Amino acid sequence: MKTPQPFQYQGSKRALARTILQYLPAYTDRIVEPFAGSAALSIACANRGRAKEYWLNDYNKPLADLLALIINHPEDIASFYRQTWREEQDDALEHYYRVREDFNRTKDPRLLLYLLARCVKGSVRYNSDGMFNQSPDKRRLGTRPETMRENIMAVSNLMKNKTIVTSQDYRDILTNCQDSDVLYMDPPYQGVCREKDSRYFTGISFDDFVSTLDQLNKRGVRYLISYDGRLGEQIYGEPLPDNLGLTLVEIEAGRSSQATLLGRDDVTFESLYLSRNIADELGSLKRTHHINRTFQLNLLESPLTCGKVPQRVS
Protein backbone atom coordinates (compact mmCIF):
# COMPACT_ATOMS: atom_id res chain seq x y z
CA MET A 1 0.00 0.00 0.00
CA LYS A 2 1.24 3.48 -0.84
CA THR A 3 2.54 5.49 2.11
CA PRO A 4 1.48 9.16 2.10
CA GLN A 5 4.15 11.86 2.53
CA PRO A 6 3.19 15.53 2.38
CA PHE A 7 6.66 16.93 1.68
CA GLN A 8 10.09 15.99 0.43
CA TYR A 9 12.94 16.18 2.92
CA GLN A 10 16.51 15.42 1.96
CA GLY A 11 17.85 12.64 4.15
CA SER A 12 14.35 11.28 4.71
CA LYS A 13 14.18 7.50 5.04
CA ARG A 14 10.99 7.28 3.02
CA ALA A 15 12.62 5.12 0.33
CA LEU A 16 14.20 2.84 2.94
CA ALA A 17 11.33 2.75 5.44
CA ARG A 18 9.86 -0.49 4.15
CA THR A 19 13.20 -2.22 4.67
CA ILE A 20 13.89 -0.65 8.05
CA LEU A 21 10.47 -1.73 9.30
CA GLN A 22 11.58 -5.34 8.92
CA TYR A 23 13.89 -4.75 11.88
CA LEU A 24 11.25 -3.42 14.21
CA PRO A 25 9.44 -5.85 16.52
CA ALA A 26 6.28 -7.13 14.85
CA TYR A 27 4.17 -4.82 17.03
CA THR A 28 4.96 -2.29 19.72
CA ASP A 29 3.19 0.08 22.04
CA ARG A 30 4.97 3.23 20.88
CA ILE A 31 7.52 4.29 18.27
CA VAL A 32 9.68 7.24 19.32
CA GLU A 33 11.61 9.36 16.82
CA PRO A 34 13.93 11.85 18.59
CA PHE A 35 15.10 13.19 15.18
CA ALA A 36 11.81 12.96 13.30
CA GLY A 37 12.51 15.06 10.20
CA SER A 38 9.63 14.23 7.85
CA ALA A 39 8.53 11.38 10.17
CA ALA A 40 8.77 9.01 7.21
CA LEU A 41 9.40 5.92 9.31
CA SER A 42 6.54 6.55 11.75
CA ILE A 43 4.14 7.31 8.92
CA ALA A 44 5.14 4.08 7.18
CA CYS A 45 4.74 2.23 10.47
CA ALA A 46 1.28 3.70 11.04
CA ASN A 47 0.30 2.85 7.47
CA ARG A 48 0.97 -0.80 8.29
CA GLY A 49 -0.63 -0.73 11.75
CA ARG A 50 2.62 -1.63 13.49
CA ALA A 51 2.26 0.47 16.67
CA LYS A 52 -0.38 1.90 18.96
CA GLU A 53 1.20 5.33 19.50
CA TYR A 54 3.94 7.62 18.18
CA TRP A 55 6.19 10.31 19.65
CA LEU A 56 7.70 12.62 17.05
CA ASN A 57 10.39 15.07 18.12
CA ASP A 58 12.59 17.45 16.16
CA TYR A 59 14.81 20.21 17.50
CA ASN A 60 13.77 22.31 14.50
CA LYS A 61 10.65 23.82 16.09
CA PRO A 62 8.91 25.07 12.91
CA LEU A 63 9.31 21.59 11.45
CA ALA A 64 7.90 19.96 14.59
CA ASP A 65 5.02 22.47 14.58
CA LEU A 66 4.34 21.66 10.92
CA LEU A 67 4.09 17.94 11.72
CA ALA A 68 1.67 18.75 14.53
CA LEU A 69 -0.49 20.84 12.19
CA ILE A 70 -0.57 18.10 9.54
CA ILE A 71 -1.62 15.50 12.09
CA ASN A 72 -4.03 17.53 14.23
CA HIS A 73 -5.33 20.31 11.93
CA PRO A 74 -5.18 18.90 8.41
CA GLU A 75 -7.92 21.03 6.85
CA ASP A 76 -6.36 24.27 8.12
CA ILE A 77 -2.85 23.55 6.84
CA ALA A 78 -4.15 22.17 3.52
CA SER A 79 -6.23 25.33 2.96
CA PHE A 80 -3.31 27.59 3.86
CA TYR A 81 -1.05 25.75 1.43
CA ARG A 82 -3.64 26.01 -1.36
CA GLN A 83 -3.91 29.77 -0.89
CA THR A 84 -0.14 30.27 -0.69
CA TRP A 85 0.48 28.08 -3.75
CA ARG A 86 -2.11 29.95 -5.83
CA GLU A 87 -0.60 33.32 -4.95
CA GLU A 88 2.57 32.41 -6.85
CA GLN A 89 0.98 32.29 -10.27
CA ASP A 90 1.93 35.81 -11.39
CA ASP A 91 5.63 35.62 -10.46
CA ALA A 92 6.57 32.27 -8.94
CA LEU A 93 10.19 33.11 -8.11
CA GLU A 94 9.43 36.45 -6.52
CA HIS A 95 6.63 34.83 -4.54
CA TYR A 96 8.98 32.12 -3.25
CA TYR A 97 11.56 34.63 -2.03
CA ARG A 98 8.83 36.68 -0.35
CA VAL A 99 7.49 33.60 1.45
CA ARG A 100 11.03 32.65 2.47
CA GLU A 101 11.61 36.12 3.92
CA ASP A 102 8.30 35.95 5.80
CA PHE A 103 9.17 32.53 7.19
CA ASN A 104 12.59 33.64 8.40
CA ARG A 105 10.96 36.59 10.15
CA THR A 106 7.98 34.76 11.69
CA LYS A 107 8.97 31.05 11.79
CA ASP A 108 5.38 30.28 10.76
CA PRO A 109 5.32 26.50 10.13
CA ARG A 110 2.58 26.90 7.52
CA LEU A 111 5.01 28.84 5.34
CA LEU A 112 7.62 26.13 5.82
CA LEU A 113 5.34 23.61 4.08
CA TYR A 114 5.29 25.77 0.94
CA LEU A 115 9.08 26.19 1.04
CA LEU A 116 9.62 22.45 1.41
CA ALA A 117 7.33 21.80 -1.56
CA ARG A 118 9.09 24.37 -3.76
CA CYS A 119 12.77 24.32 -2.84
CA VAL A 120 15.39 22.46 -4.85
CA LYS A 121 14.92 18.68 -4.44
CA GLY A 122 13.43 19.12 -0.99
CA SER A 123 16.96 19.98 0.10
CA VAL A 124 16.59 22.06 3.25
CA ARG A 125 19.41 24.49 3.97
CA TYR A 126 19.98 26.94 6.81
CA ASN A 127 22.70 29.56 7.10
CA SER A 128 24.87 30.14 10.18
CA ASP A 129 22.15 32.38 11.65
CA GLY A 130 19.54 29.63 11.36
CA MET A 131 17.78 31.26 8.40
CA PHE A 132 16.28 29.12 5.66
CA ASN A 133 18.32 29.97 2.55
CA GLN A 134 17.62 27.28 -0.05
CA SER A 135 16.69 28.45 -3.54
CA PRO A 136 13.47 27.58 -5.40
CA ASP A 137 13.34 24.82 -7.96
CA LYS A 138 12.92 26.74 -11.21
CA ARG A 139 11.74 23.69 -13.12
CA ARG A 140 8.55 23.06 -11.19
CA LEU A 141 5.95 24.80 -9.06
CA GLY A 142 5.78 22.28 -6.24
CA THR A 143 3.08 19.85 -5.20
CA ARG A 144 -0.36 20.78 -6.47
CA PRO A 145 -2.83 21.70 -3.70
CA GLU A 146 -5.12 18.78 -4.48
CA THR A 147 -2.29 16.27 -4.08
CA MET A 148 -0.99 18.02 -0.99
CA ARG A 149 -4.41 17.91 0.65
CA GLU A 150 -4.79 14.22 -0.16
CA ASN A 151 -1.44 13.41 1.47
CA ILE A 152 -2.08 15.60 4.51
CA MET A 153 -5.50 14.07 5.14
CA ALA A 154 -4.07 10.56 4.78
CA VAL A 155 -1.32 11.22 7.34
CA SER A 156 -3.81 12.77 9.75
CA ASN A 157 -6.14 9.79 9.41
CA LEU A 158 -3.26 7.48 10.27
CA MET A 159 -1.80 9.38 13.20
CA LYS A 160 -4.34 11.71 14.80
CA ASN A 161 -5.19 10.95 18.44
CA LYS A 162 -2.24 8.58 18.73
CA THR A 163 0.73 10.93 18.24
CA ILE A 164 2.47 13.54 20.35
CA VAL A 165 4.84 16.04 18.74
CA THR A 166 7.57 17.92 20.61
CA SER A 167 10.61 20.07 19.92
CA GLN A 168 13.23 19.22 22.53
CA ASP A 169 16.85 18.21 22.82
CA TYR A 170 17.16 14.55 21.86
CA ARG A 171 18.71 13.77 25.26
CA ASP A 172 15.50 14.83 26.99
CA ILE A 173 13.54 12.44 24.78
CA LEU A 174 15.88 9.54 25.47
CA THR A 175 15.76 10.24 29.20
CA ASN A 176 11.96 10.21 29.24
CA CYS A 177 11.23 7.30 26.94
CA GLN A 178 9.86 4.10 28.45
CA ASP A 179 11.20 0.57 28.47
CA SER A 180 8.24 -0.53 26.32
CA ASP A 181 9.08 2.03 23.59
CA VAL A 182 11.05 1.33 20.44
CA LEU A 183 13.27 4.23 19.36
CA TYR A 184 14.23 4.95 15.78
CA MET A 185 17.02 7.51 15.54
CA ASP A 186 18.30 9.24 12.41
CA PRO A 187 20.61 11.92 13.83
CA PRO A 188 21.88 14.93 11.87
CA TYR A 189 25.28 15.34 10.22
CA GLN A 190 25.99 11.65 9.68
CA GLY A 191 25.37 9.84 6.40
CA VAL A 192 27.01 11.10 3.26
CA CYS A 193 28.26 14.50 4.32
CA ARG A 194 31.77 15.36 5.33
CA GLU A 195 31.06 18.62 7.11
CA LYS A 196 28.45 19.92 9.51
CA ASP A 197 25.12 19.43 7.81
CA SER A 198 23.40 22.72 7.00
CA ARG A 199 20.01 20.99 7.02
CA TYR A 200 20.09 21.43 10.80
CA PHE A 201 20.50 24.32 13.20
CA THR A 202 23.09 22.33 15.13
CA GLY A 203 24.87 19.01 15.04
CA ILE A 204 25.31 16.61 17.93
CA SER A 205 28.37 15.57 19.84
CA PHE A 206 29.50 12.05 18.92
CA ASP A 207 30.73 11.35 22.46
CA ASP A 208 27.49 12.60 24.02
CA PHE A 209 25.45 10.47 21.64
CA VAL A 210 27.47 7.34 22.42
CA SER A 211 27.07 8.04 26.15
CA THR A 212 23.28 8.28 25.82
CA LEU A 213 23.21 5.00 23.88
CA ASP A 214 25.17 3.35 26.68
CA GLN A 215 22.52 4.56 29.14
CA LEU A 216 19.76 3.15 26.92
CA ASN A 217 21.57 -0.20 26.94
CA LYS A 218 21.72 -0.20 30.72
CA ARG A 219 17.99 0.54 30.90
CA GLY A 220 17.14 -2.14 28.35
CA VAL A 221 15.47 0.30 25.93
CA ARG A 222 15.17 -1.05 22.37
CA TYR A 223 16.43 1.12 19.53
CA LEU A 224 17.54 1.30 15.90
CA ILE A 225 19.88 3.94 14.47
CA SER A 226 20.58 5.13 10.94
CA TYR A 227 23.96 6.70 11.47
CA ASP A 228 26.83 6.37 9.01
CA GLY A 229 27.36 5.07 5.51
CA ARG A 230 29.72 4.65 2.62
CA LEU A 231 30.02 5.37 -1.08
CA GLY A 232 31.94 2.50 -2.63
CA GLU A 233 34.96 2.06 -0.32
CA GLN A 234 34.79 5.59 1.11
CA ILE A 235 33.21 5.77 4.57
CA TYR A 236 31.19 8.82 5.63
CA GLY A 237 30.49 9.51 9.26
CA GLU A 238 32.04 7.92 12.32
CA PRO A 239 30.98 4.30 12.96
CA LEU A 240 29.48 3.59 16.35
CA PRO A 241 31.87 1.73 18.71
CA ASP A 242 31.86 -2.03 19.16
CA ASN A 243 31.45 -1.81 22.94
CA LEU A 244 27.81 -0.78 22.48
CA GLY A 245 27.13 -4.33 21.28
CA LEU A 246 25.18 -3.25 18.21
CA THR A 247 24.41 -5.32 15.14
CA LEU A 248 25.13 -3.58 11.86
CA VAL A 249 22.92 -3.88 8.79
CA GLU A 250 24.11 -2.34 5.53
CA ILE A 251 21.35 -1.14 3.24
CA GLU A 252 22.24 -0.66 -0.39
CA ALA A 253 20.64 2.61 -1.43
CA GLY A 254 21.59 2.42 -5.10
CA ARG A 255 24.03 4.25 -7.29
CA SER A 256 24.66 7.86 -6.35
CA SER A 257 23.71 10.58 -8.82
CA GLN A 258 27.29 11.86 -8.75
CA ALA A 259 28.64 8.41 -9.63
CA THR A 260 26.17 8.19 -12.52
CA LEU A 261 27.33 11.55 -13.89
CA LEU A 262 30.96 10.42 -13.69
CA GLY A 263 30.21 7.07 -15.32
CA ARG A 264 31.26 5.18 -12.18
CA ASP A 265 29.67 2.19 -10.45
CA ASP A 266 30.00 3.43 -6.85
CA VAL A 267 27.01 2.41 -4.77
CA THR A 268 25.78 4.17 -1.65
CA PHE A 269 25.25 2.07 1.46
CA GLU A 270 23.47 3.29 4.58
CA SER A 271 24.10 1.71 7.97
CA LEU A 272 21.36 0.63 10.32
CA TYR A 273 22.44 -0.33 13.84
CA LEU A 274 20.23 -2.59 15.98
CA SER A 275 20.46 -2.62 19.76
CA ARG A 276 21.36 -6.00 21.25
CA ASN A 277 17.84 -6.62 22.58
CA ILE A 278 16.29 -5.84 19.18
CA ALA A 279 18.71 -8.24 17.48
CA ASP A 280 18.01 -10.94 20.07
CA GLU A 281 14.26 -10.49 19.68
CA LEU A 282 14.44 -10.83 15.90
CA GLY A 283 16.68 -13.90 16.00
CA SER A 284 19.04 -14.81 13.17
CA LEU A 285 19.72 -11.94 10.79
CA LYS A 286 21.89 -13.68 8.23
CA ARG A 287 19.98 -13.42 4.98
CA THR A 288 19.95 -11.31 1.82
CA HIS A 289 17.01 -9.38 0.44
CA HIS A 290 16.75 -8.59 -3.28
CA ILE A 291 14.41 -5.64 -3.37
CA ASN A 292 14.72 -4.83 -7.07
CA ARG A 293 17.42 -4.66 -9.72
CA THR A 294 19.12 -1.63 -8.14
CA PHE A 295 18.20 -1.97 -4.46
CA GLN A 296 19.64 -4.80 -2.42
CA LEU A 297 19.97 -5.36 1.30
CA ASN A 298 22.69 -7.42 2.93
CA LEU A 299 21.95 -8.46 6.49
CA LEU A 300 25.01 -9.29 8.49
CA GLU A 301 24.80 -11.73 11.38
CA SER A 302 27.30 -10.40 13.88
CA PRO A 303 28.88 -6.99 14.48
CA LEU A 304 32.11 -8.80 15.37
CA THR A 305 32.44 -11.28 12.50
CA CYS A 306 30.83 -9.68 9.49
CA GLY A 307 29.00 -6.56 10.53
CA LYS A 308 31.61 -3.89 9.89
CA VAL A 309 31.90 -1.50 6.97
CA PRO A 310 35.35 -1.23 5.35
CA GLN A 311 38.07 0.77 7.11
CA ARG A 312 38.01 4.52 6.62
CA VAL A 313 39.92 5.69 3.57
CA SER A 314 42.40 8.43 4.36
Domain 68-156, CATH: 1.10.1020.10
Q: Rounded to an integer, what distance in angstroms lies between the CA atom of residue 48 and that of residue 25?
A: 13
Give the pLDDT of residue 286.
40
The three-state secondary structure class of 279 is: helix
For the chain, which ranges sit under pLDDT 70? 1, 11, 189-202, 232, 254-265, 284-314
Give the pLDDT of residue 45.
95
- Non-local CB neighbours of 243 within 8 Å, separated by 6+ positions: none
Locate the domains of the chain by residue range: 68-156
Give the pLDDT of residue 269.
80
What is the identity of the amino acid at 189? Y
3-state helix, strand, coil in the chain (%, to 5): 40, 20, 40
Q: Rounded to an integer, what distance in angstroms lies between the CA atom of residue 217 and that of residue 112?
A: 37
Share of the chain above pLDDT 90, in %: 55
Give the pLDDT of residue 189.
53
pTM of the shown model: 0.84
Please provide the DSSP assignment of 29-60 as one string.
EEEEETT-TT-HHHHHHHHTT-EEEEEEE-SS
